[in-house]
Chains A and B, each alone.
Chain A
Amino acid sequence: MFTIFGVPSGALFGQLLIGLINGSFYALLSLGLAVIFGMLNIINFSHGAQYMLGALTAYLLLQVTGLGYWPSLIIAPIVVGLLGIAIERFFLQWLYKLDHLYGLLLTFGLALIIEGVSRHYFGTAGLPYTLPDSLQGGRNLGFMFLPNYRAWVIVASLTVCLGTWFLIERTRIGAYLRAATENPTLVRAFGINVPRMITLTYGFGVAIAAFAGVMAAPIYNVSPNMGSELIIVVFAVVVIGGMGSILGAIVTGFGLGVIEGLTKVFFPEASNTVIFVIMAIVLLVRPAGLFGRRA
C-alpha cells in the first residue's frame, strides 16, 4: 500500500473504479440520447425512466419467473425497446413537425407516468438484486482489489459503446442512418423506409438505456427514483460533449465519470456538483461543447 498526494492508493483506485462504472452509465445513456436526437430531433427526457425500467424488468424477471441476470440482460432491453417502439408510434411520431420543446415536454410527461406507476407498485426504497454466481468474487491486482462484476460492467459497456459506434459509422445501415439524419426526404426518395428507421432508432436507443439499467441493478439497488437524478447528470454530460459525435459522447461519459470519482477522493463535498461545474466552465470556454459543431 502506498499513498498518492496523501491518499492511500487503495482508496484512490477504488474511487477510480467507481468513477469508471458511473462513467460507463453516463456513456451508455448519453450515447442513446445522441442517437435518438440525431434521428428524431427529440431530447428523450424519459431516458432515465427507461433505464430504470430495464433494472425493474430484470428484478421482476428474477422474482416472478426466476430468470437470472444473463437472460435478463437480453430480455429486458428487448421488452423495454418494444415499449419504446410503441411510445414512438403512439406519441412521438406526431411531434416531428413541431418545435423541439414539445418533444422534451412530452417525454418528461412519460417519465412522470413511468416513475409514478413504478413508485406505486414498488415503493421508493431500493429493492436488492443479487449478483449471478459466475460474477461473484474478485481478484487482487496487487495495487487494488477488483470485483469481477465491476470489471464486467466496464468491459460490457465499452463493448456496447464501440459496437454502436461501429454500427453507425462503419456499416451500410449506419450510412443510411447518417444520411437520413442529414436529409430524410432525399433518403426516402431512394426508396428507404425512413419512418420505420426512425421508429427502430428510438427502440434501439431505449434498449441501450434498459441494458444499462440491468447492469446497474446489482450495483445500485433497483428503485423507481434511480433514473430521474441520473438523467439530469447525463444532460450535463451531453451539454459538455455535444451531441454531434458518437465517440465524443463515449469519451465524455467515461472521462466525466473518472473526474467525478477523483473528486470523491480529493474534495468529497463537491462530488455531486463537479460535473455541473465542469459544464459551466465548458460553456464559458467552448460554448459549442467539446465535440460539438457550432449550430
Chain B
Amino acid sequence: MERVVEPAAKASPWRRNSETIAFGVLVAAIVLGPFFIYPLFLMQALCFALFACAFNLLIGYVGLLSFGHALYFGWASYISAHAAKVWGLPPELAILSGTAVAALFGLVAGSLAIRRQGIYFAMITLALAQMMYFVAVRMKFTGGEDGIQAVPRGTLFGLFDLRNETTMYMLVAIIFLAGMLLIYRIIHSPFGEVLKAIRENETRAISLGYKTDRYKLMAFVLSATLAGVAGSTKAILLQIASLTDVNWPMSGEVVLMTLVGGLGTIFGPIVGSFVILLMQYKLAFVGEWVLVIQGVIFVACVLLFRRGIVGELAYKLHLRL
C-alpha cells in the first residue's frame, strides 16, 4: 500500500511547526493591524474571514461544496439584529441567538443535503438557501428591502460599551480567534481525521465501519454554526442586517474567498477574504464590473490556480498552512 509521507514530517522544526508559527503571525497581525488598517474594515474582514473558514471546513476537509452558506450567515445576522434591536438583548445573547438559529437551520438543511452526493449536494444547498431567501423577503421582521437598520451595539456583559471602537475590535478579534482555534482543533482531532478520510474515499470510510452520514452532518452543523457566529457578529458590528447577506451572491462570494485563498488550507480563507474585500472596496467605483472581475477570478482560479494563494505558498515551500 502506498504510504503518503507528509513533507513536513521529516523536515526542520520550522517546517514541522509551520501551522503554529502561522498562528503566531496571525495573532500578531490582529494585534498590530488596527495601527495600520482602518479598524472598521479590519473588523468586517475578520467576520468574513471566519465565515470563509467555516465554509472551508466543509469543502476543504470533507469535500462537500455548500453553495448556500449565505443562509446561515444571513439568517444569523437577521436574528442577531432583531434580538438586539427589538428584544433589547445584550450583544452576547444576540450573537448567541443568531448562532443557535444558524445551527438549527444547519441541522435541517444538512440532514436533507447529505442524502445526495457530489454535485447534487451543491444544488440542494443552493436551492434550500434560495428558499429561505424568499422566506426572508416575505417575513415582516426582516424589513424587506430596507433590512434591519440602526441595530444598537449595546454593552457586552453589562460592562464593555461596544460603541467604543477599540472594545468592539477586541470582541471581534476574540470571537475570530476562538473560532479559528475551534476549527484548528476540529481538523486535528480524531473526528477531523475521519472527515478527511471521507473526503479522500467515502466508500472506504464506510467499509471501515464509520457512519459517514453522521460525520458529514456533524461537520455541516459545525460549519453552519460558525458561519452563524460570523453573521451575528457582523450584524452587531455594522449595525445592519439586510437581504444582501442572505441572497445567493453572498454564497458565491464565500466560495470565491476560499478558492482564492486556498481550499483545504487553514489560513487560506483568511487571506482570500481580505483579498476579495479589499478588491471590492478599491474597485467600488467600477460598478457592475466588480461582478465581471469576480467571475474572471473564478475562472482563472479554477483553470490556473487551483491551490489558491496560501495553498500555492505551502506547496512551493513544503509547508503545512
B299 close to A287 (CB less than 8 A): no
User: From residue B318, how far is it (CB to closest CB) to chain A in Å?
Assistant: 23
Contact indicator B291/A280 (Cβ below 8 Å): no
A116 in contact with B128 given A104-B119, A273-B134 (CB within 8 Å): no
B116 within 8 A of A: yes
Encode B115-140 as 1/0 by CB contact (under 8 A) with A.
11111101110111011001101100
Shortest CB-to-CB span from A183 to chain B, Å, is: 20
| CB pair B292 A117 closer than 8 Å | yes
Are B119 and A116 within 8 A (Cβ)?
A: no
Q: By the criterion CB–CB under 8 Å, are B289 and A120 in contact?
A: yes
Q: A120-B287, A232-B130 in contact; A239/B298 too (CB < 8 A)? A: no
State whether A119 and B291 are in contact (beta carbons under 8 Å apart), knowing that A272-B134, A273-B134 are contacts in the complex. Answer: yes
Q: When chains A and B are docked, how far (Å) is the Cα of A160 from the Cα of B120?
A: 26
Contact B124 A104 (CB under 8 A): no
Complex alpha-carbon distance, A238 and B130, angstroms: 15
CB-CB < 8 A to B295: which residues of A?
109-114, 116
A105 adjacent to B291 (CB under 8 Å): no
* Contact, CB under 8 Å: B115 / A105: no
Task: Judge whether B123 and A287 touch: CB under 8 Å.
Answer: no
Residues of B within 8 A of A232 (CB): 126-127, 130, 248
B124 touches A239 (CB 8 A): yes
Enumerate chain B residues within 8 angstroms of A277, measured Cβ to Cβ.
Answer: 131
Tell whether, in the assembled complex, residue A279 and residue B299 are in contact, meaning their CB atoms are under 8 Å apart: no
CB <8 Å contact, A276 and B128: yes
Q: Given A101-B65, A287-B115, answer yes or no on A106-B134 (Cβ-Cβ < 8 Å).
A: no
Sample of 8 more A-B contacts, CB < 8 Å, known A37-B119, A110-B299:
A43-B119, A43-B123, A100-B118, A104-B67, A105-B259, A109-B296, A232-B127, A233-B127
B297 interfacial by beta-carbon distance below 8 Å = yes
Is residue A1 within 8 Å, beta carbon to beta carbon, of the partner chain? no
Complexed CA–CA distance, A101 and B294 (Å) = 18
Interface size grouping (class) on chain A: 35 or more
A: residues with CB less than 8 A from B are: 37, 43, 91, 94-95, 98, 100-102, 104-106, 108-117, 119-120, 228-229, 232-233, 235-236, 238-239, 269, 272-273, 276-277, 279-280, 283-284, 287-288, 295
A100 to B292, CA, bound (A): 23
A117–B116 Cα distance when bound, in Å, is 34
24 contacts between A and B (CB under 8 A): A37-B119, A43-B119, A43-B123, A94-B303, A101-B122, A105-B301, A105-B302, A109-B296, A109-B298, A113-B292, A115-B291, A117-B292, A119-B291, A120-B288, A239-B123, A239-B124, A273-B131, A273-B135, A276-B134, A279-B127, A280-B112, A284-B112, A287-B116, A295-B118
CA distance A273 to B139 in the complex (A): 13
Interface string of B273-294 (1 = CB under 8 A from A): 0000000000000011111101
Summarize B's interface: helix, strand, loop or mixed.
Answer: helix
Is B15 positioned at the interface, with any CB of A under 8 Å from its CB? no
* Given contact pairs A43-B122, A100-B118, A104-B119, A116 touches B288 in the complex (Cβ within 8 A): yes
Report Cα–Cα, A98/B118, bound state, in Å.
Answer: 13
Q: A269–B134 Cα gap in the complex (Å)? A: 10
Q: Is the CB of A91 within 8 A of B288?
A: no
B289 nearest CB across to chain A (Å) = 6
- A104 & B65 in contact (Cβ 8 Å cutoff): yes
State whether A113 and B127 are in contact (beta carbons under 8 Å apart), knowing that A43-B122, A280-B112 are contacts in the complex: no
Q: How far is the CB of B64 from chain A (nearest CB, A)?
A: 9
Q: Answer yes or no: B196 CB below 8 A from chain A CBs.
A: no
Interface footprint category on B = 35 or more
Does B306 touch A at the CB level, under 8 Å? yes
Chain A neighbourhood of B137, CB < 8 A:
272
Contact mask B50-65 → A, CB, 8 Å, 1/0? 0000000001000001
Closest partner residue, chain B, to A113 (CB atom): B295
Is the C-beta of B147 less than 8 angstroms from some C-beta in chain A? no
The 3 A-B residue pairs with the shortest CB-CB distance in the complex, in nearest-first order? A109-B298, A112-B295, A116-B291
**A208 CB, min distance to chain B CBs, angstroms:** 19
Bound-state CA distance A117–B289 (Å) is: 7
Of all chain B residues, the one with the shortest Cβ separation from A235 is: B123
A254 → chain B, closest Cβ, in Å? 19
Query: In the bound complex, do residue B124 and residue A119 qualify as a contact, i.e. CB atoms below 8 Å apart?
Result: no
Q: Is the CB of A238 within 8 A of B299?
A: no
In the complex, A277 Cα to B296 Cα: how many Å? 34
A-chain residues with CB within 8 Å of residue B115 when the two chains form the complex? 283-284, 287
- Cβ-neighbour of B116 out of A112, A116, A239, A269 (below 8 A): A239
Task: Determine the chain A residues whose CB is within 8 A of the CB of B131 once the complex forms.
Answer: 273, 276-277
Min CB distance A36 to B, Å, is: 12
CA–CA, A235 and B297, complex, Å = 24
Contacts of A235 in B (CB 8 A): 123, 126-127
Count chain B CB atoms within 10 A of each CB in A108, A239, A273 and give the residue with the most.
Answer: A108
User: Which residues of B have CB within 8 Å of A112?
Assistant: 252, 291-292, 294-295, 298
Listed residue (A279, A284, A288) with the most chain B CB atoms within 10 angstroms of its CB: A279
B113 (CB) vs chain A CBs: closest residue: A283
- Let me know if B288 and A106 touch, CB within 8 A: no
Check: B151 CB closer than 8 A to any chain A CB.
no
The residue of chain B having its C-beta at the shortest distance from the C-beta of A118 within the complex is: B288
Contact A113 B302 (CB under 8 A): no
Known: A113-B296, A119-B291. A276 touches B130 (CB 8 A): yes
CB of A91 within 8 A of CB of B299, answer yes
